[in-house]
Amino acid sequence: MQKFDAIIIGAGVIGAAIGLELARKGWKTLNVDMLPAAGYGSTSASCAIIRTHYSTLAGSAIAYEGYFYWKNWAKWLATEDESGLAEFRETGCAVMKTADNGYMAKIMANMDALSIPYEDWDNATLKSRMAHYDTSLFAPAKRPEMAGFGAPDGDGELAGAVYFPCAGYITDPQLSAHNEQRATEAAGGKFLFNRRVTEINKSDDGAVCGVTLDDGTEIASPVVVNVGGPHSSKVNDMAGAAGDMKINTRALKQEVVHVPSPVEDYDQIGMVTSDSDISCYTRPEKGNFILVGSEDPPCDPREWVDPDDYDENFSEQWRVQALRCAQRIPELGIPSAMKGVVSLYDVSEDWIPIYDCSSVPGYYMAIGSSGNQFKNAPIAGAMMAHLIERVQAGHDHDAEPLHFTGPYTGCDIEIGFYSRNREINRESSFSVLG
């Protein structure tokens, strides 16, 4: 029987980062993924937005730390990849100031507390930087069949925007996971693809002792880490780890729209935007397209699905998001052919991930991360490696939550913030990018 110090279920951008950080600590690691390559699942479908603003102080601290990993991507990897390195296109991010987000007052306070740079734009500045934008108010977000859709709300306008320069996106998110795979392999870690974990094995005392794969292979390890993305809740059930959890996860279908940009060279000059007035976020997409995602307004139904059995086709939601974006960009053309991405998020009740140990000795979780944690993958890997090492050495993380110091910013990151046993955090935006 093969034996490893840690088995990581999943080889997406977070799973590969955990494998890398543990391997660099001298652990013999194995990432197992049911798909054919690293980053082939939710990671490949990610909008891969890098940003520093969050509705919580803790979220902002880890995001700012994550920014520097991407800024210094080649240095962190310290490994060549025959496929090249993922590119961080640092466009900046403009967040519209609306009544819904408190005109960004709390977010700016978080930035000030952590010395994260930003610019407070008035409407004149916003219009000068984004001349293609109609600054009329349209809130609350509506569906096209609802009265008033597309009609400005009186003569009011946006109250400006807050611009975050330390932001942008990764042009090829799957490549970023492949980069991590190569770095992990250089540190001695292993990867196994096209194999699904069907059982998490336990010893007589209830502790993890390995996994069984779908071909009957058993692999021994005292540590198993669930980074299963949309399948995370199924993996937790296999481990018998869900019993004491106050926060759980489930798979949510999401659609991302790609529409041609009316602005010339937008894929070169455009920036990331977040606009709670129309409940859309955008970023440039290759081919001079605009990528449009939803900020999940209350009027839109949420489609919770079985990750092994769901409709992978576009739905009416594609058209809804495109039309919402057209409210802000009146010259936007909406083609009849639907282009974009249909995929799944792994979402917790408050849209904040779980980075934690569990009630099962040797079983750990980095889950509920889809949608808004791509940017944090490298720092999440380092943080999880620290947590696993300390807990395996006897530390009681539930009784005395661990902290982790960000190597770039020196920020104190409270790992207990991401506990499976936390209460729902009402400070969360409860969306992918809010």
CB 93 within 8 A of CB 271: yes
Q: Which residues of 92-109 are buried (b: 16+ CB within 10 A; e: fewer)?
A: bbbbbbbebbebbeebbe
20 in a domain, yes or no? yes
Last residue of a domain, one of 348, 367, 389: 348
Do 76 and 199 fall within a single domain? yes
Among 23, 38, 343, which Cα is nearest to 172's?
Answer: 38
| Ranges assigned E (strand) in 227-334 | 249-260, 272-275, 280-285, 289-294, 304-305
Q: What is the DSSP letter of 147?
A: T
pLDDT, residue 106, reads: 95
423 in a domain, yes or no? no
The type of residue at 91 is T
CB 233 within 8 A of CB 344: no
Q: Residue 268: how many CB atoms within 10 A of its CB? A: 10
pLDDT, residue 430, reads: 74
pLDDT, residue 426, reads: 87
Tokens of residue 47, six digits: 């909008």
CB 118 within 8 A of CB 105: no
Please tell me the chain's helix, strand, coil percentages from 3-state DSSP, rounded to the nearest 5: 30, 25, 45
Written as one string, the DSSP assignment of 291-305 is: EEEE---TTSPP-EE
Do 360 and 343 fall within a single domain? no
Q: pLDDT tens digit string along 280-314?
A: 999 999 999 999 999 999 999 999 999 999 999 99
The type of residue at 402 is L
155 in a domain, yes or no? yes
Contacts (Cβ under 8 Å, ≥6 apart) of 109: none
Do 304 and 314 fall within a single domain? yes
Do 199 and 296 fall within a single domain? no
pLDDT, residue 370, reads: 77
Q: What is the CATH number of the domain that holds 19?
A: 3.50.50.60
Do 73 and 187 fall within a single domain? yes
Beta bridge partners of 53: none
Separation between Cα atoms, residue 432 and residue 434, nearest integer Å: 6
Tell the residue number behind the tokens 């509506």, with chain if given. Answer: 142
94 in a domain, yes or no? no
Do 191 and 142 fall within a single domain? no
Cα 71-73-76 angle, rounded to 5 deg:
120
Domain count, the chain: 2
pLDDT, residue 432, reads: 76
Separation between Cα atoms, residue 49 and residue 375, nearest integer Å: 7
Beta bridge partners of 169: 49, 89
Do 244 and 256 fall within a single domain? no
* Sign (positive or negative) of CA dihedral 181, 186, 189, 193: positive
Among 325, 179, 349, which Cα is nearest to 262's?
Answer: 325
Q: Which domain holds residue 151?
A: 100-168+250-348
pLDDT, residue 141, reads: 95
Do 78 and 179 fall within a single domain? yes
Beta bridge partners of 345: 252
320 in a domain, yes or no? yes
Last residue of a domain, one of 297, 325, 348: 348
434 in a domain, yes or no? no
Q: Which residues of 58-77 are buried (b: 16+ CB within 10 A; e: fewer)?
A: bbbbbbbbbbbbbeebeebb
Last residue of a domain, one of 287, 318, 348: 348
List the chain residues with pLDDT less than 50.
none
Q: What is the CATH number of the domain that holds 124?
A: 3.30.9.10
Measured in whole angstroms, the distance separating CA 409 from the mean position of its chain's CA atoms is: 21
Separation between Cα atoms, residue 229 and residue 366, nearest integer Å: 9
> Which helix (H) or strand (E) segment is 124 a member of?
helix 123-129
Do 147 and 296 fall within a single domain? yes
Do 341 and 258 fall within a single domain? yes
Q: pLDDT tens digit string along 92-151?
A: 999 999 999 999 999 999 999 999 999 999 999 999 999 999 999 999 999 999 999 999
- What are the angstrom distances between the C-alpha of 168 and each of 48, 87, 274, 285? 9, 10, 12, 12
Do 183 and 308 fall within a single domain? no
Contacts (Cβ under 8 Å, ≥6 apart) of 216: none
Q: What is the DSSP letter of 309?
A: B
Do 184 and 283 fall within a single domain? no
- What are the angstrom distances between the C-alpha of 393 and each of 58, 68, 103, 204? 26, 29, 46, 20
pLDDT, residue 157, reads: 95
- What are the angstrom distances between the C-alpha of 179 and each of 195, 220, 253, 296, 427? 21, 27, 27, 31, 34
130 in a domain, yes or no? yes
379 in a domain, yes or no? yes
In three-state secondary structure terms, 308 is coil
Q: Which residues of 362-384 are buried (b: 16+ CB within 10 A; e: fewer)?
A: bbbbbbbbbbbbbbbbbbbbbbb
Separation between Cα atoms, residue 133 and residue 302, nearest integer Å: 28
pLDDT, residue 376, reads: 96
The model carries a pTM of 0.97
